[in-house]
Amino acid sequence: MRHYAAYGSNLDPARMRAYCPHSPMVGVGWIEGWRLTFAGEGDMGWEGAVTTVVESPGDRVFVSLYDVHPWDAAQLDEVEGVTAGAYQKLTVRVSTLDGDVPAWIYVFAGYEGGLPTAWYLSEIANAAEKAGAPDDYVAELRSRPTGTSSPEV
């Protein structure tokens, strides 16, 4: 499988071009029955919690789909923490306007919980906006609680 469903800060097309220069974005869609959440606060020495997704009937997560070239796959695994054991890969079905597409996602290898920093949450919302997420989705991201009061400028 070569399709990767990016959520969180990887929704930013420029970020993904830097990580995976041989892997074009091929569309957007939704992972139905999952929700975006945070995990790992304090687990790995990070300042705040990081994005992950968990199964949650009735919810959905906006994603960008990438056709990941094998040259880029190992780099992406490294960047996303698979080789360090922080994240694991799962296969999900992404609902697109052209039908369902199987894709892999990265899911935190630990328990849900914790708050992101305000800076990190801002990065995620900005990335979603750049990827073309609906306004209400971006607004919901921006309204989430954080572990710090405001993004750094």
Q: What gap in Å lies between CA 46 and CA 40, rounded to an integer?
A: 8
Question: Is 55 assigned a catalytic role?
Answer: no
* Binding region for substrate: 4-9, 120
Give first-to-last CA distance, the chain, whole Å: 39
**Cα–Cα distance list, 74 to 42, 48, 118, 134, 143 (Å):** 26, 26, 30, 31, 34
Cβ(68)–Cβ(3) below 8 Å: yes
Please pick, among 41, 55, 78, 80, the residue that the annotation labels catalytic: 80
Q: Measured between alpha carbons, how far is 46 from 77 in angstroms, rounded to an integer?
A: 18
Contact 5, 105 (CB under 8 A): yes
Q: Which residues are catalytic?
A: 80
